[in-house]
Amino acid sequence: MKKYIAESVGTFGLVFCGAGAVTINEITGGAITHVGIAATFGLIIMTMIYALGDISGAHFNPSVTLAFAVSKNFPWKEVFPYIASQVLGAFVASVLLKLLFPASALLGTTLPAGSDLQSFVLEIILTFFLVFVILRVATGTKEQGMFAGLAIGGTILLDAMFGGPISGASMNPARSLAPAIVSGHLEHLWIYLTAPFIGALIAASIYGVLKK
């Protein structure tokens, strides 16, 4: 149960701070800035990894959990409880953001700036980078690397810096699902519920080849 609570708390932090930064940027007319949003996502993941990694492995992302299971670094029986815990944390954060910022129309929902196909492909590539780095520096059930949090947080910062203006740089189905449902913007949700899993599976496949 401690692992599931840790996953919920970590994902709550990700969505509350990350989507919260997007929300505050929206209602203040750009006070946070794009760079600030990207930095917020990278920093919250880094700090949550160091705070909770030794308890749950600090996945905070259904696509990461799937990749760990596929690469045989995580038991399949734990996949559903982990994902359920992540989604729960994301929804609690989104509901709280709705209560705090009722003027926000999007609540940090990830939406494509261009075509759906453009963002779909970009999300696959961004998630590939993220998950591949995670698989290389993390252990699956317990995060033990001294610099893993820095590497993973830095990858999220990098992905968000250049991919955020186009696709929103979600890389995380739970992060996109909760704000979309709470805000009522479901029109492009399919991108963020499919592309991250595809990117994660590609990363797990290449990781498996390199590991042999």
Domains of the chain, each with CATH number or no CATH? 2-211 (1.20.1080.10)
| Pairwise CA distance, residues 58 & 11, whole Å | 9
Query: 169-189 pLDDT, tens per residue?
Result: 999 999 999 999 999 999 999
Question: On the CB side of 94, how many CA atoms lie within 13 Å of its CA?
Answer: 25
| Pairwise CA distance, residues 133 & 151, whole Å | 7
Over residues 16-43, mean pLDDT: 97
| Pairwise CA distance, residues 47 & 157, whole Å | 13
Over residues 147-160, mean pLDDT: 93
Chain mean pLDDT for the chain: 94
Q: What is the DSSP string of 33-68?
A: HHHHHHHHHHHHHHHHHHHHHHHH----SHHHHHHH
Q: Which residue type is seen at 84? A: A
Q: Which of 27, 59, 41 is nearest to 161 (CA)?
A: 41
Query: 77-133 pLDDT, tens per residue?
Result: 999 999 999 999 999 999 999 999 999 999 999 999 999 999 999 999 999 999 999
Number of Cβ within 10 Å of residue 200's Cβ equals 31
| Pairwise CA distance, residues 86 & 197, whole Å | 15
| Pairwise CA distance, residues 148 & 57, whole Å | 11
The pTM assigned to this predicted structure is 0.94
Query: 64-88 pLDDT, tens per residue?
Result: 999 999 999 999 999 999 999 999 9
Within its chain, how far is the Cα of 31 from the centroid?
23
pLDDT band at 138 (very low <50, low <70, confident <90, very high): confident
